[in-house]
Amino acid sequence: MQKMTLEEACAEFLLYEKSVRSLSENTVISYGKDLDAFQKFLGKDRLMDDLTLEDLRSCIGELSRQKKAAASVNRFIASVRSLFAYCRKFQYIQNNVALELKNVKLPRHLPVFMTGAEIDSLCECPEKTEILWAARDKALFEMLYSSGCRISEIAALKFEDLSKDFSSAFVTGKGRKDRQVFFGKDAVEALKVYLDERKKRFAQKEFYRQCPEVFVNQRGKKLSVAGMRWIVSVYSGTTGVNHHVSPHAFRHTFATQMISSGADVRAVQAMLGHSSISTTQRYTHITTEKLIEIYNHSHPHGGNKK
């Protein structure tokens, strides 16, 4: 059996995940951050086959002492498990001690979503304020809300992904899974206005060939995820509607309103690209709690009458 240090194993594992398994860049970066911390905790020259369950648990204890969020600790555990599974597969270790690691319990957080009035106000904000590029930003907001896409999926959206009438598109989500998403009338109209402006603004740059992505920055280059997050923060901040939200709130709002309107949970799961139905079912908890709130507020014996 080949002896391998922790440093060597991490480097080979990350290369394998990127080149052979073709995992997304963000996933590989996340693995890399966790495994860098793992090496700092235990020492990069430790042999993989010498690491014990107590060593791994000591790392988790150190993360707890650093007051890392439960989700961050569980991500670290998942990264370590993946590393050990890789090493066992290629016989760099005799026993996979990481199989004994248990996830820490996550606090129950319901997704943050916007009301109908809040989403309308935010989608109208670009035209009213003209802070940045109104047509582009309105199209961005309408498409996020209409489709339930992740911000990374919209940032990667290319012209070739769109249907001819712009009413749908194919996007690549987590795990490199493709799915079809849909855009409503308001989103389609906003997109057409934006694309017309973009074509005029960058006519000399061969509109379609210069940048294949749908959304661009003021220089005609691909609009990054960070750039989109900044745009949302500007319009939802004090210069806009003064109700700060994250880009993911559009996705949460889409899911909540779909289920509240009677859409089948399985259908919403497919539209969101969730691998597990339990992830989508979080939104049924939201609607149930909202019903309880309405009942307590409205019914004569609801308990909240004064």
* CA atoms of 170 and 188, how far apart (whole Å): 15
The residue among 107, 105, 135 whose CA lies nearest residue 123 is: 135
Q: Is 40 exposed, middle or buried (0-12, 13-18, 19+ CB in 10 A)?
A: exposed
- Long-range interactions of 34-42: CB distance < 8 A, separation 24+: 34/75, 34/76, 34/79, 34/80, 35/10, 35/79, 35/80, 35/83, 36/10, 37/63, 37/76, 38/6, 38/10, 38/76, 38/79, 38/80, 38/83, 39/6, 39/7, 39/10, 42/6
Q: Which of 283, 297, 299, 301 is catalytic?
A: 283
Q: Is 251 tagged catalytic?
A: yes
Residue with tokens 């990127």: 18
CB 274 within 8 Å of CB 282: no
Q: Is 274 tagged catalytic?
A: yes
Which residues make beta-bridge pairs with 5?
A: 47
Q: Which of 68, 81, 248, 282 is catalytic?
A: 248
Q: Which of 88, 174, 221, 243 is catalytic?
A: 174
Q: Is 109 tagged catalytic?
A: no
Per-residue DSSP letters for 118-153?
HHHHHHHHHHHH-SS-HHHHHHHHHHHHHH---HHH
Q: Is 150 tagged catalytic?
A: yes
CB 112 within 8 Å of CB 246: yes
Q: Which of 136, 138, 150, 198 is catalytic?
A: 150
Q: Is 248 tagged catalytic?
A: yes
Q: Which of 274, 290, 301, 305 is catalytic?
A: 274
Q: Is 57 tagged catalytic?
A: no
Q: Which of 136, 138, 198, 251 is catalytic?
A: 251
Q: Are strands 168-172 and 178-182 parallel, antiparallel or unpaired?
A: antiparallel
Which residues participate in catalysis according to the annotation?
150, 174, 248, 251, 274, 283
